[in-house]
Amino acid sequence: MRIERGKPEGDCGIGKEQAMIRFLKYMKGYLRVRVWGFSPERFMNLCSNKGILLWDIVREGDVYYMNITLKGFWEIRPIAKKTGTRVAILERYGLPFFLPRLLKRKMFVLGLVLAVVFWTVSSFFIWDINLNGNYQITDDVLQDFLKGNQVRIGMRRDDLDIQELEKQIRRQFPQITWASVRLDGTKLLIDIKENDAPIATREHAVDEKHSMGGAQDATGTDLVAEYNGRVVSIIVRSGVPKVAIGDTVEKGTVMVEGKVPVYNEDATVREYSYVDADADIVLEHASEFTASLPFDHTEKRYTGREKSSHYIKLGDRSWALPENRPFLVYDSVIKESRPLMLERLSVPAFWGTVTYREYQNVEYKYTAEEAKVHLNQKLMDFLAELEEKGVQIIEKDVKIETGNDVWVLKGQFLVQEPVGASVRTERIEVEKTEENE
Amino acid sequence: MRRNNDRIQRNEERKESLIDSLRFPKDICMGAMKVTLTGNREAWIENYRGLLEYTESHILLQGRTCQVCFEGARLSIDYYTNEDMKISGCISCVRYL
């Protein structure tokens, strides 16, 4: 049986070990020494007996060169005396020799210490706030809200109560269904999920609040017509349809009821189960659009003269060169940017340019052609909006007329539009039910 | 004298067979030197007492029971501790004295 101690070099695993040993040697410091005299071999034997590591021993003539640890070197004197050898230091290696030389450079050390202090201190603060997932609620609104809650850039990290902030966000904005606040280094990350379910649920919530404890289960909504018109198609997913294709309905008519009757064997109603009515209903109805354009209007005519001023912003504070009214009438464009490096480090430093553009107000009268173009543009916008809602236009009748100092565009359309507004179902208690239950 | 020597020899053999049957490491129990050669470039030695002679052409080591002499050219000691040592260079001969 063999006992495996450190294996000789050549194994794969040794490389790392060797590097580690070399690193340790460097950390502890070592010397290259020259040994000569009466019996260097005995010197080496005594060294190894005392546990002093020697390596890279080379003999040249009568002189031995070897490496010795710094700690070992302090214990060498009696050995050298005993063996009649002399030891001379040739070179010094390692951190214990390098460090004092480094420390002599006072400014360097000071800078190092200051840098460490700076980074440590600045890591106690929040340097960036990241908002994520807000679509309906704008960044500005959220930022104002945060400011109102004493959450600012540059605040202490300890002052932030993350759970409280999450709660506050959900309380303040009912449409936010999920909020997560977390700290990533010096960055405050706020993730939000907004409610994208139909508005009905929101009405629901309000209703519920108003009539606390009115109904045990909150479900039960009807679909109600929003226009007077004719039903073109109806596909019901849940609820009881009250209209058929071809029926004319008036505004407010219940088209699909969320009250589903459950019958007894003798065809009497035993109870009602309430559901949220859900259906695709297309209603054909007439729609109107008018747009007007006054004959004269003022137009901005840029003179082409521009002035720009620069500013630097740090957090909420900004410094700009004082600039008094550059022109009599002007508007301004602000361009703000942040150096990439600072963005990566989340340092709230920006620079920006404000460009002032002079313009003159010019009274202007539209010609018939121009008016037509403008009004048509408005019409196109309206139609595009309809299309977005899924409205189909069946008939179209558009006229442009001149009124009192205005051009008027009048359009009449016959459209097919998906409709259905949710309204709470009226509850009818069937007395029998209670007996049954 | 000869009988005495025989007895020592017999004792040694008995000891060796005992160690063998118990599967103890021989290098430790018998105080034998352990030499590992890698080609003719490197020698790794364990379980020795000390260094007797060191020149570029030969290195003489003292073991517990015997001496070992490495002969060759450009011999150098990579490291030297109480437990093990490594010799590198061009080894041409290993002799037990």
Each residue's pLDDT tens digit, B25-80: 777 777 788 899 999 899 999 888 888 888 888 899 988 888 999 999 989 898 88
**Cα distance between residue A403 and residue A290, in whole Å:** 13
Per 3-state DSSP, chain A is made up of helix, strand and coil in percentages (nearest 5) of: 30, 40, 30
The model carries a pTM of 0.43
Domain extents for chain A?
Answer: 14-99, 128-194, 289-295+367-417, 297-362
pLDDT for the residue numbered A429: 63
User: What is A14-99's CATH superfamily?
Assistant: ACT domain (3.30.70.260)
Tens of pLDDT, residues A71-108: 999 999 999 998 889 999 999 998 888 888 888 888 88
List, in sequence order, the alpha helices (H) in B23-95. 26-29
Q: Report percent pLDDT > 90 for chain A.
A: 9
Query: Per the structure block, which two tokens stand in for A214?
Result: 């009115």
A379: nearest Cα among A412, A355, A354? A412
- Decide if pLDDT at A216 tops 50: no
**Confidence class of residue A35 from pLDDT cuts 50, 70 and 90?**
very high
Q: Which residue has the higher pLDDT, B40 or A5?
A: B40
Helix and strand numbers (H, E) in chain B are 2, 6
| CB spacing of A54 vs B80 below 8 angstroms | yes
Indicate if the pLDDT at residue A326 is higher than 80. Answer: no
- Residue B30 DSSP one-character state: S
User: Rounded to whole angstroms, what are the CA distances from A40 to A58, A401, B53?
Assistant: 12, 119, 9
pLDDT at A210: 43
The CATH fold of domain A128-194: Ubiquitin-like (UB roll) (3.10.20)
Q: Mean pLDDT for chain A?
A: 81
Q: Over the range A325-356, which residues count as b (16 or more CB within 10 Å of their CB) and which as e? A: ebbeebeeeeeeeeeeeeeeebbbebebebeb
Q: What is the ipTM of this complex?
A: 0.73
B46 touches chain A (CB under 8 A): yes
* Facing B38 at nearest CB: one of A10, A48, A66: A10
pLDDT for the residue B37: 92
- By Cβ distance, the residue of B54, B56, B78 closest to A41 is B54
Chain A CB contacts of B80 below 8 Å:
44, 47-48, 53-55, 57
In angstroms, the separation between the Cα of residue B82 and the nearest Cα of chain A is: 5
Determine the Cα angle at A298 with ends A293 and A301, to 5°: 130
Q: Do A58 and B76 touch (CB under 8 A)?
A: yes
User: How, if at all, do strands A187-194 and A128-132 pair?
Assistant: parallel
- State the Cα–Cα distance between residues B84 and B72, nearest whole angstrom: 20
